[in-house]
Amino acid sequence: MSVSRRTLLAGAAGAAVAPMARAFPEIMIRSEIKPVVISSGNGNIFKNGGTETCVQKAYRLMMSGEDVLDSLIEGVNILELDPLETSVGYGGIPNAEGVVQLDSCCMHGPKKWAGGVACLEGIRTPSKVAREVARQTDHHLIVGKGAQEFARGLGFTIEDDLNTPHSRSVWQEWKRRTDPDHYLDPKKRGEDSLRVALEMVSEGIIDPLHVYGTINCDGINAKGEICGVTTTSGLAFKIPGRVGDSPILGAGLYVDQEVGAAGSTGRGEANLYGLCSFLIVEELRRGLHPKDAGISALKRVARNTIEKRLLTKEGHPNFGLQFYVLDAKGRHAGVTMSGGAGYAVCDDNGPRIEPCEALFH
C-alpha cells in the first residue's frame, strides 16, 4: 500500500502533539477567561452624581489590578450611597415602622471566605461591614444591634436615621393607606402590606423593581478570580426584623472559585426555600451553561410555589425573581421568572443592559 507524503507528515505531527497534550494538558484544553462584571439592572443605572455606574467602576478597578471583591464593593457603594436608589442603602424604603434596615453579604472565591450582616441600622454601606465580618471574625453573619456595634468598633459612622425625605414620604403614604388595625392581625398584615405596596407601584409612587429591590454584583478577572456581593434594604415595608435572602450564603449569593457565582433579586422567601444560588452553582459544576443553570433554579421555585395567593390564574408564580449567573470561563446570564427584566454587564465592550431569559413569557 502506498503512503503519500502528506499522510506521513500528518502522522508525524499527530505523534508529536499527543505526548505534548499528555505532558501539558492545561495548555491544550484551557479556554481563555473573559473578564466581566455583571449585576442586576440597577447596576448600570445609578451614578450618585458621578460619571460611572456600579458595573463600570467595578470593572475599571478590577482591570487595573484591584482585588475583585474590593472592586465590586466599590461599585455597589454607588447605589448604597445614592438617595435616588430606594432599594439599597441610604434612602431605601423602610420597614413597617419607618426604620431603614439593611442586609448584605459577600464572598471571596480565591480566599474562600465570606461575611454578612442583617437588620443593620444607621450605616449606609452594609457591604463594607459584611466584608469586615469576613476579614476580621470567625463568623459569617452578624445581625441587628450586634452588627451595628461591631461596625461602630471599626470606626464606621452610625447615623440616627437613613431615611431621605422621599423614602419617609413613601412610608407615610403607605401608613396612611393601611388599615389602622393592620398590626393586630398577622395574616391581614401580610396581605395588606403587599396589596398597598403594589397599589403604590401602579400609581407610580414606588418603582416596581423596588418592592423587592436589591443589587447583586459578581465579577471575574483575567486570572479567573471570582467574587460576589449582594446588598439591599429588603422588602418594602417589611415586618421589622425580617431578613430575606440577600445576606444568606447560598441564597442571595454563592461563589465557588472553581465553578462560578450566582446571586439574586426579587422575592427572597421563594429563593430561601430552595437556596437557589447554591443550586445554580452546583448546576454549573455539572456542566450547564449559566442560562440553563439559572432556569433550572427558577423551575424548582415554580414547582415549590403552591399557595394560591402566590400564583397567577395560569398557575405561575406571581412574584418577581431574578438570578445573575457567572461561570469560571466568564460566561454569564440573567434569568427571570417572567419577561421584562434586564441585567447589567461590563466587559471590554463597555457597560450595557442585556435581557434576562424568562421562564414564563
Cell 421584562 belongs to residue = 340
- Three-point CA angle 302, 118, 197, nearest 5°: 55
The alpha carbon torsion through 15, 19, 25, 29 (nearest 10 deg) reads: 0
Strands 226-232 and 253-256 come out as: unpaired
**Helix, strand or coil, per DSSP, at residue 326:** strand
Which triple of cell numbers denotes residue 25? 494538558
d(CA 220, CA 92): 28
CA-to-CA distance for 60 and 199, rounded, in angstroms?
40
Catalytic residues: 214
| Pair 76, 217: CB distance under 8 Å | yes
**Residue pair 63/35 in contact by the 8 Å Cβ criterion:** yes
DSSP string, 2-65: ---HHHHHHHHHHHHHHHHHHH-HHHHHPPPP--EEEEEGGGGT--TTSS--HHHHHHHHHHTT
The 3-class secondary structure across 189-212, one letter per residue, is HHHHHHHHHHHHHHCCCCCHHHCC
Dihedral sign from CA coordinates of 337, 299, 357, 227: positive
- Please state, in angstroms and as integers, the Cα–Cα distance from residue 59 to each residue in 79, 119, 218, 238, 281, following that order: 15, 29, 10, 33, 22
